[in-house]
Homo-oligomer: A and B are copies of this chain.
Amino acid sequence: MSGNSIGRIYRVTTFGESHGRGVGVVIDGVTPGIPISREDIQKQLDRRKPGQSELTTQRKESDTVEILSGIFEGRTTGTPMALLLYNTDQDSSAYDHIRRAYRPGHADFTYQSKYGIRDYRGSGRASGRETAGRVAAGAVAMKILAMSDIEIKAYTLRAGGIECRIRDMEVIEQNPMRACDPEAAQKMAGRIEEMKTAGDSVGGIVECRIQGVPAGLGEPVFDKMEAELGRAMLSIGAVRGIEFGAGFSIADMTGSESNDPLRPDGFSSNNSGGIIGGISTGQEILFRIAVKPTASISKEQHSIDADGRPIQIRTEGRHDPCICPRIVPVVEAMSAMVVLDLIKRQAALHS
């Protein structure tokens, strides 16, 4: 109700602020009897954690996960899994200057407006660190989905104005941009280094493909599969848009162009992104999200303080010049949760 949970049956609740005791997640609705190890979860968290390359923030964060409950002798019990990551080594003094000041592009002003109080240190609850809980919950979902041969793959399609020309799924984890085109990845890296030096940041586009989803998932009319995925993606801090299949370009098509013909051996195109009428078609699910440039930049910007007086502000410290590579595992995690939840809902409907 207050927005810290997602999913109806596979229900994920995150908690924690970036400079409090820790961040974590409680997962309810976990299928019982599934073998899951701490390493299965840690592996995904390591893909999200800061400091992976020159292109991401150099902050040291302890992303070591502790399983508090829900596992017995290496298998899920069907009771809630609580996963905790303690916060360590935070230097909160770096945030003293925003105690009573609002950074442009950050949630400082809006959190203050909403709650009348905010933990300003490291952006508090609005910190990207909150997504660690999501990635952990997604890792558990992936283990369950793997049993149905469902595979999820996200990657940077565009960053700093540079777009991938090929979509090579094999190279994604081999470049720090998590891009699907190694050549483009290198250009992106160059552009980002440049912006970093200038004290600025860049945005990009992340694409995601989900394979192996059977036809029939999604709950019309309000919980259409694109509505559920859309909501999940738009709940990630930096995401400003989402489009499925042909996306916004469909606006300029005609019906005879956009309709995907059916043939005895399947659909012959996928403008729909694998979803028609809110229900999966059995094709690949395909969507793209718009990622805004990191709000934390060291260039001076105009803003106001808590009394409404004009100030100049610059964000000190180590921040991601481009968040795309670290959003990739978050997008995969959110996708896994949504698909698993819809599988469970479909089973419930037919029971």
Instruction: Assess A21 versus B299: contact at CB under 8 Å? Given A3-B221, A126-B277, A309-B264.
Output: no
Closest-CB distance, A2 to chain B (whole angstroms) = 4
**B residues within 8 A CB of A255?**
105, 200-202, 293-297, 299
1/0 per residue A320-350: CB within 8 Å of B?
A: 0000000000000000000000011111111
- Write the chain B residue with the least CB distance to A260: B104
Q: Are A261 and B72 in contact (CB under 8 A)?
A: no
Instruction: Assess A226 versus B234: contact at CB under 8 Å? Given A268-B302, A350-B31, A351-B347.
Output: yes
Q: Does A182 contact B (CB under 8 A)?
A: no
- Write the chain B residue with the least CB distance to A107: B277
Partner of A68, one of B15, B250, B278: B15
**B residues within 8 A CB of A195?**
254
CA distance A79 to B347 in the complex (A): 15
- Write the chain B residue with the least CB distance to A118: B77
Q: Does A165 contact B (CB under 8 A)?
A: no
CA distance A159 to B13 in the complex (A): 39
Q: Are A308 and B264 in contact (CB under 8 A)?
A: yes
Interface size on A (CB < 8 Å)? Answer: 155
| Interface residues in A109-137 (C-beta closer than 8 Å to B) | 109-111, 113-119, 124-126, 130
- Write the chain B residue with the least CB distance to A350: B31
| Interface residues in A170-217 (C-beta closer than 8 Å to B) | 195, 200-205, 214-217
Instruction: Assess A114 versus B235: contact at CB under 8 Å? Given A5-B28, A250-B293, A295-B255.
Output: no
Please list 10 pairs of residues, one from A and one from B, whose beta carbons are closer than 8 Å in the complex, sorted by A's number: A15-B82, A72-B119, A158-B252, A200-B255, A201-B255, A203-B258, A204-B251, A255-B295, A256-B297, A263-B310
